[in-house]
Chains A and B, each alone.
Chain A
Amino acid sequence: MICPYCGHNNLDGLDNCEECIHDLSAFDVPTPTGGLQQHLMEDTIGHIPFDRLVLVNPADSVAHAVSRIKTIGIGQAVVVEDGRLIGILTERDLLNKVAGRELNLDKLPVSEVMTRWPETIAESDPIRVIVNKMAIGEYRHVPVVRDGRPIGIVSAKAVANYILKFSGLDF
C-alpha cells in the first residue's frame, strides 16, 4: 500500500511504512463495499431474530428440562446459576450422553449432561462474528449474553436465513 505520509509503495499488511516508519495499521482495516458484505460487517447480532430462551438450573432434572424445551418447541435450554449463564443443554448433548442409555431422567441433574461454558456472543457484535464462530467452532446455537446474563439464542438456521435475505436475491 502507498504510505499516505511519504508516498512509499509498501507491501500490503505492513504495520509501519518501511521508508518513514509511520503507523499504517489504521489503513488496513477492511471496509465494506455494499450489499451483504455491508450487512455482515455493520449489522449486529441484535438484527437476527433470536430463538426463544428456556432457562433451567443446574440442579433441575433432565426430565424437567426436556419437558420445558419440548413444550416451547425448540432444541436447547440455557443453564443459569444466579441468573448467569454457566452452560447449555442441547439436542446434541442428549444424543451423545443420554440417548440409548438406561438412565432415570427424573434423577439425573442437568449439570451432568450440559455443555459447560459454551461460546457466547454479545448483541453488539457484528454478524460476521457469529458466522466466524459457527464455521470454526461448529456450533449451531450460540447464547447471546448481556452482562453475563442470557437474553436469547442465535441459531445457525437464523444466520443462514439472514444471509439469504441480504444475498441480493428477490424473495
Chain B
Amino acid sequence: MSIADKLSEVKIRHLPLRQPALVERNASIREAIETMKARSLGCALVCERGKLIGLFTERDLLNKVIGEPVNYSSAVEQVMTINPARLSMDDSVLTAMRLMQEGDYRNIPLVNAEGAAAGVVTVRDLVTYFAEHFPKEALNLPPDHDQLMRHAEGA
C-alpha cells in the first residue's frame, strides 16, 4: 500500500491521541495554562456546555498574554481564537495534514457529530505516526559511529 493510500485510509481516531485540555469559556487564563501544563499540550479547547467555541494556544499566550497588560484571572475567552478550524475523529490523517498545511495550524480540535469537543490532533502526533508507521523510511537509520547513549546501559 502506498504512503498516500495509507495516510488517506487511516482515521484520526486510530492515532494514540492524548487527552485534550478542556476549559469552559469563563475559566481564567491561569486555569487554561495550568490545564495545558498538566497535559503537556500546546493548546486548550474552550467549550460552552461541552461544545467547542474556541481554542487557546501557546501562540495566543505568546501574542496576547505574555508581556501584555493582561490579568491571568481574566476569562480565557478574551484571548482565545474564536471558532477554530476543526475535524472529526473519522477524518483521515491525510485530511489533518492538509488542513494543517493550508491553515498553518499546529493543533486541530476534534469534535463529535454534536459539536462537542472530543480531542485534539497535533503536528507532533502526525510526525510521530509517520515515523512509527513507515519505519523503513524514517527510523531504520544506518549505524552512526558518533552516537552515544545518554545513560549507561542498565542505568
Contact = CB atoms under 8 A, between A and B. Distances in A.
Interface of A: 29-30, 35-37, 40-41, 62-63, 66-67, 69-70, 75, 91-92, 94-96, 98-100, 105, 128-129, 131-132, 134-136, 138, 140, 156-157, 159-161, 163-164, 167-169
Interface string B33-49: 11011000010000000
A48 to B, nearest CB: 12
Nearest to B62: A91
Contact of B61 (A94, A105, A156, A163): A94
A163 B128 CA distance: 12
A100 B138 contact: no
Contacts, number: 123
A99 B57 CA distance: 12
Contacts of A63: 67
A91 B62 CA distance: 7
Given A95-B36, A128-B137, A157 B63 contact: no
Interface residues of B, number: 43
Interface of B: 2-4, 7, 29-30, 33-34, 36-37, 42, 58-59, 61-63, 65-67, 72, 94, 97-98, 100-101, 104, 106, 123-124, 126-128, 130-132, 134, 136-142
Contacts of B61: 91, 94-95, 99
A156 B127 contact: yes
User: Looking at chain A's contact residues, is the secondary structure mostly helix, strand, loop, or mixed?
Assistant: helix
B97 A163 contact: yes
Nearest to A101: B72
B139 A135 contact: yes
B42 A92 contact: yes
Contacts of A129: 141
A168 B29 CA distance: 43
Nearest to B28: A100
A98 B123 CA distance: 24
A95 B130 contact: no
B12 to A, nearest CB: 14
Contacts of B136: 30, 37
16 contacts: A37-B136, A40-B137, A69-B62, A75-B62, A92-B58, A95-B61, A99-B61, A99-B72, A132-B141, A140-B106, A156-B124, A157-B100, A157-B104, A163-B97, A164-B94, A164-B101
Given A131-B131, A135-B131, A160-B127, A95 B33 contact: yes
Chain A to chain B: the 9 pairs with minimum beta-carbon distance, closest first: A135-B131, A91-B58, A168-B4, A131-B138, A37-B137, A135-B128, A156-B123, A100-B33, A169-B4
A100 B72 contact: yes
B37 A95 contact: yes
A21 to B, nearest CB: 20
Given A135-B127, A157-B104, A75 B58 contact: yes
A132 B42 CA distance: 21
B97 A164 contact: yes
